[in-house]
Amino acid sequence: MIRPAFRLPLAPLVFLSLAVLAGCAPKARALDSEERAFDGQNYRVVSIDLRREPLTLHWRDPDSGQPFGTIDNLRQWGEARGRRLLFAANAGIYDAAFAPLGLHVEDGKALEPLNMAHGNPASGNFSLLPNGVFAIYPDGQAAVETSARFKADGRKTRWATQSGPMLVIDGKLNPAFVHDSDSLKWRSGVCARTPHEVVFAVSEAPVNFHSFARLFRDGLGCRDALFLDGTISQIYLDGEGYAGAPAFMVKPYAGMFAVFAPE
C-alpha cells in the first residue's frame, strides 16, 4: 500500500520559515562605517554603540612599557593575544616626546593629568581655546566637554583623552574658526552623539576647521565635538584598511582608540 506523503500543517511551516529567515537576517551593526560627502568634501565616519562594543584607549604596551606608536603595532599586539582589531584611530594631541599633551586615562588610571595651561604657542592647536576632553565613564556613557567644564564636573573617568580645540560647543561652532580660512589639513575628531553612541570622523582630503566643525554639527548632529589631530590622522577599519591622511604623512602616535573583537 502506498502511504500518502507526510505534510506539515501550514501554520508550523510558516513559523519554521520565519524562524529560518530571522536567523539569517543581518543584525544591526554595533560598529558602522560609511563614506560621507558633506559640503563638497568626503569623510570617513565611524559610529560605535558603546553598549555593544567596548572602546578602549592605548598608549604603551603594558608588558614592555614601550609606546605602541602605530596602529599596526597595536593590531599585532592584539593578534598575539587572540584579539582582532576592528577599529582604531589616533587620540588627542601629544608633544615632541610622543607623550600625551593633556589628560590621558586608561582603564581608570590617569597616566597624564588634565592640562589647563593657556596660550602656549608650542602646543599648536591645543592652545586654540577652548580645548576639551572626550571621556567614557565607569557607567559606560561618553561625553565631550570643554576642559574647564570637565574639571568643574569632577567625575571619575574610565577612558579619556584631552585635545583641542573644541569644534562644537553646546551646538555652536568654535568662534575662533574662520569660514574661508586657507589652513587646510587632514583632520580627525570625535563626538558623543548620545551617551552611548560615539562618532569618529576623518577627512579624506585637507579641510579647514570651520568646514570640519560644520560636518559634526550640521552633518552628524553633534552638540559638542572635539578635534583630535590634523595632518597625520587616520582611521583603521578591519577589512577596509586606512582612511584619512596618506601613509607618507603619518608619524608615530601617542594614544590610540581601539575596538577589539571579543576574545
Q: Tell me the per-residue pLDDT of 24-71, one tens digit each, with 9 for 90 and over.
A: 444 446 799 999 999 999 999 999 999 999 999 999 999 999 999 999
- Average pLDDT value for residue range 101-110: 96
DSSP 60: B
CB 100 within 8 A of CB 107: no
- Tens-place pLDDT, residues 234-254: 999 999 999 999 988 899 999
Predicted confidence band at 174 (pLDDT cuts at 50, 70, 90)?
A: very high
Where is pLDDT greater, at 120 or 91? 91
pLDDT for res 123:
55
pLDDT band for position 262 (50/70/90)?
confident
**Following CA atoms 154, 156, 158, 159 in sequence, which dihedral angle do they give, to the nearest 10 degrees?**
10
For 134, phi and psi rounded to 5 degrees? -105, 125
pLDDT band at 263 (very low <50, low <70, confident <90, very high): low
Query: Distance between CA 170 and CA 229 in Å, rounded?
Result: 21
pTM for this model (two decimals): 0.86
**Pair 41, 207: CB distance under 8 Å:** yes
Q: Grade residue 208 by pLDDT with cuts at 50, 70 and 90.
A: very high
In DSSP notation, 184-251 reads: -B-EEEEEEEETTEEEEEEESS-B-HHHHHHIIIIIS--SSEEEEEESS-EEEETTTEEEES-GGG--
pLDDT exceeds 90 at position 2 = no
For 261, the 3-state DSSP assignment is coil
Q: How far apart are the first and last CA of the chain?
A: 58
Instruction: Return the percent helix, strand and coil in the chain, to nearest 5.
Output: 20, 35, 45
Mean pLDDT of 129-152: 96
pLDDT at 22 over 90: no
Kindly state the cell numbers that stand for 98. 610622543
Average pLDDT, the chain: 88
How large a percentage of the chain has pLDDT more than 90?
75
CA distances from 143 to 161, 214, 226 (A): 11, 19, 10
Kindly state the cell numbers that stand for 137.
Answer: 565613564
Are residues 237 and 46 in contact, defined by beta-carbon separation less than 8 angstroms? yes
Q: Which three cell numbers stand for residue 218?
A: 550640521
